[in-house]
Amino acid sequence: MCEREVGSIMNNLQEMLAYNEKFVEDKKYEEYLTDKFPDKRMVILTCMDARLSELLPRALNLRNGDAKILKNAGAIITQPFGNIMRSILVALYELNADEVFIIGHYNCGMTGINPDSMIGKMVDRGVPSQTIRTLKHSGVDFTRWLTGFDNVRSSVEKSVSIVRNHPLLPPGTPVHGMIIHPQTGKLDLVTEGYEFLRNAEPAPAAE
């Protein structure tokens, strides 16, 4: 990273700290005061795409405190016992959420991502090639770890399925899948959790 780029990053930090000091001093936080429990009792997993930062809450009519919002690259759940699924369970069991929304988006950067290209960028930005080779020899599957998806709808359906079939999900929890347009905010429903529950076989009674 060149000296100019480092200076730009430092400016970002200084601007953030200066604005924050004024924000607190002027008590602008007061309009956002709420507690840790989501008013609409929902937990949302969506993508970290910068276009959705303000668009998604506004398009969903969500205000501060309405929902727990989790973000990662692509709104993907790959591991049933990974960090994202753990956060969903925390929201359901500890923070009074009652339903789950998985919201992907069109034109996602995880569509067709190329692991080899990304590894090349790592090397270009200073990660030693030897480190990459060592990790590969240690069993790290970069291709699987860094591969995105080919179709956002299929990706949303897969993540929804992981949540719905999780052994620790509270019975009767609606899990919905949707796709949002990153320019207009229009939502397309992929799968409705209420309908799925209506059509599902009754869960066996707890012993």
Q: How far apart are CA 203 and CA 196, in angstroms?
A: 13
> How do residues 168-205 score in pLDDT, each as one tens digit?
999 999 999 999 999 999 999 999 999 999 998 766 66
pTM for this prediction: 0.89
Mean pLDDT within 76-82:
95
Q: Which of 66, 61, 70 is nearest to 39 (CA)?
A: 66
Which secondary structure element, helix H or strand E, spans residue 69, and what is its range?
A: strand 67-72
**Cβ atoms 100, 43 nearer than 8 A:** yes
The phi and psi torsions of 110 (rounded to 5 degrees) equal -85, -5
Domains of the chain with CATH codes: 34-112+148-193 (3.40.1050.10)
| Angle CA 180–181–185, to nearest 5 | 80
> How do residues 100-155 score in pLDDT, each as one tens digit?
999 999 999 999 899 999 999 999 999 999 999 999 999 999 988 999 899 999 99
Q: Which of 10-19, 50-59, 165-174, 178-187 has the lowest mean pLDDT?
A: 10-19
